[in-house]
Amino acid sequence: MSTHIGAAKGDIAESILLPGDPLRAKYIAEKFFDNPIQFNNVRGMLGYTGTYKGKRVSTMGTGMGIPSISIYVTELLKEYGCKNLVRVGTCGGLLPEIGLKDIILAQGACTDNAFLNIFPGHYAPIANFDLLRTAHDLACQRNIKTYVGLVKSSDMFYYENVPGSEYWTQYGVIGVEMEAAALYTIAAKYKARALAICSVSDSAFIDHELTALERERNLDNMLTLALDTVLAID
């Protein structure tokens, strides 16, 4: 047991998929795992371990935003020895050519959250190259429209009229989400691999929304991409 995860040591696999939504973790386990066993329900943050194509894999929700994911990821790394952490989430697209359902592989993540202020300079959180390269290769093989680049892990979802916010896109940020910067930074501390795979759910340049069926199909493409990525990593 750790403070926020009610699992015994050994209950959680070295590779774990991390959606924000705990019910999405349940969906992943039920749809893609053989013999899933629930290892956590503390605060409703569901977590499961099962096998995928014969490999032991886990999934657990992280909640939304940097404070929430930081708690779970720290405990997964420190108390349970996780080695490969793949966030599977959504993001907003910040380039006109990025469409809904496209995938952004977050090569790096900047943030307006204060936790990087622990550094005496400006730390640059980056994805693990093995995970990034593997996910990119698989996405290309599957003809999934994929962008690799910098995301911003924002502390605000409803982001209006913040002075200077145009700088993010001017300096190459292609997507906005709320967790990757913390995932990458904490994984680096514990010498683990991390990657955020984000499906584009909205865009400042697009005014229509995805249908429920489109969302589900798209989600499944991202989830199998993430699962096959960790399968290909030792």
Which residues are known catalytic residues? Answer: 202
Closest CA to 76 of 89, 91, 60: 60
For ligand HPA, the binding residue among 22, 63, 92, 125 (CB under 6 A) is 92
For ligand HPA, the binding residue among 105, 106, 178, 194 (CB under 6 A) is 178
Which is closer to ligand HPA, CB of 77 or CB of 223?
Answer: 223
Least separation in angstroms between residue 89's CB and ligand HPA is: 7
Which is closer to ligand HPA, CB of 12 or CB of 180?
Answer: 180
Tokens standing for residue 171 = 């300096």
- How many CA atoms lie within 13 Å of 227's alpha carbon, on the beta-carbon side? 24
Alpha helices in the chain (DSSP H): 22-32, 66-78, 129-141, 166-170, 180-189, 212-232
For residues 158 and 161, what is the distance between their CA atoms, to the nearest angstrom? 10
Q: Is the dihedral of CA 13, 4, 135, 110 positive or negative?
A: negative
Q: Binding of ligand HPA at residue 153 (CB under 6 A)?
A: no
Which is closer to ligand HPA, CB of 154 or CB of 229?
Answer: 154
Q: Binding of ligand HPA at residue 154 (CB under 6 A)?
A: yes
Which is closer to ligand HPA, CB of 84 or CB of 201?
Answer: 201
The amino acid at 70: S
The amino acid at 12: I
Q: Binding of ligand HPA at residue 157 (CB under 6 A)?
A: yes
Q: Which of these ranges, 5-13, 88-96, 142-150, 181-189, lies near ligand HPA under the rule CB under 6 A?
A: 88-96
Q: CB–CB of 131/229 below 8 Å? A: yes
**Residue with structure tokens 């499906």?**
199
The amino acid at 52: Y
Q: CB–CB of 191/135 below 8 Å? A: no
Among positions 25-54, residues that touch ligand HPA (CB under 6 A) are: none
Least separation in angstroms between residue 157's CB and ligand HPA is: 5
Q: Which of these ranges, 78-86, 90-98, 109-117, 224-232, lies near ligand HPA under the rule CB under 6 A?
A: 90-98
Q: Which of these ranges, 48-56, 127-135, 160-168, 176-184, lies near ligand HPA under the rule CB under 6 A?
A: 176-184
For ligand HPA, the binding residue among 7, 18, 106, 176 (CB under 6 A) is 176
Q: Which of these ranges, 52-60, 104-112, 173-181, 189-197, lies near ligand HPA under the rule CB under 6 A?
A: 173-181
Q: Virtual CA dihedral for 53, 82, 30, 71, nearest 10 degrees?
A: -160
Q: Binding of ligand HPA at residue 199 (CB under 6 A)?
A: no
**Residue with structure tokens 């997507």?**
175
Binding site for ligand HPA (CB under 6 A): 90-92, 154, 157, 176-178, 201-202
